[in-house]
Chains A and B, each alone.
Chain A
Amino acid sequence: MMDEAAKIAEREHRDHTGSKMGMWFFLITELFFFVGPFLLYAVYRYRYATEFRKASSVLNLPLAAINTVVLLTSSLTMTLSISSVKRGSKRMAAIFLAITAILGVIFMSNKYVEWHEKISHGIYPGSQDLLMIGRGEALFYSLYFFMTGLHGLHVAGGIVLIVVMMVLVIKEEVHQDDVVKLENSGLYWHLVDIIWIYLFPLFYLIS
């Protein structure tokens, strides 16, 4: 099986290692993309520790905790879909990818509920209420919307990618001998999960 895969790779000019390395380099750039806002958060939390703690106390911790479990579970199902393709089980791979996408949609729905809660209380970037509360709290909420919004955009992109991969698996364009597209999609999704693993304690557990 491995000899056959190697022959196909050579004939079709596939470079599995190169593809993976390219994806990892892209993920490193994504990591540094988030490092900027995390640095900003760190500096302002250092300066406004009390205000950050006060602002964090009104966030919806139970919903965020549920969202964290949802995202962790989606990482599991993503990994299991890759294992299923490697095992030659197209049906299970498609099912796991569908579950991953659904969990991503659940995450985004919960995020919508959370944001709606805040926005309906006048807490949103540029609102009069936000301008009237203290600088520290205003900075917290601004960072909250910016960083969770940026993360949410990445989740949305990831959901689209997962659906595309599901179609490719069903059409057998991703299969046992050529799984690198799905593996790279999985790497992206896990990075999105890891970013949330840090966002959650920094915004929700400081009060």
Chain B
Amino acid sequence: MNHSEDMKTHGLTYVVVWAVLVVLLLFNMAAGKFFTGLAGLAINISIASLQAVLALSFFMQLKDEKGLLRIIVPLAVVIIMILMGLVFSDVGYR
């Protein structure tokens, strides 16, 4: 595949990713109607996280990066989850 065709393929990929993001948004809105409470929250956050992973991988091209760049974002997410866990281990027992 030459350079021009490669770019066209990339362009099409980005459009497909955009379409998937919009569909996931619609799923999220539908889930908000049918699920409430903790289940609704879990589904909303899961769908939002899937959208974030798609944006990170394709739009921000994290999947094409190598070395340190590939691990710092997942590392940041792990640190955030630890932070949340520690906060709720305090708040949850008050």
Contacts and interface: CB of A to CB of B under 8 A. Distances in A.
B14 A83 contact: yes
Contacts of B17: 76
Given A79-B14, A194-B52, A205-B28, A28 B73 contact: yes
Interface in A98-155: none
A69 B52 contact: no
Nearest to B45: A201
A11 to B, nearest CB: 24
A20 B7 CA distance: 21
Interface in B73-94: 73, 76, 80, 83-84, 87-88, 91-92
Interface residues of B, number: 44
B22 A72 contact: yes
B24 to A, nearest CB: 9
Interface centre among B45, B59, B72 (most CB of A within 10 A): B59
12 contacts: A24-B72, A25-B72, A28-B72, A32-B76, A53-B36, A69-B25, A76-B15, A79-B59, A191-B60, A194-B56, A201-B47, A205-B28
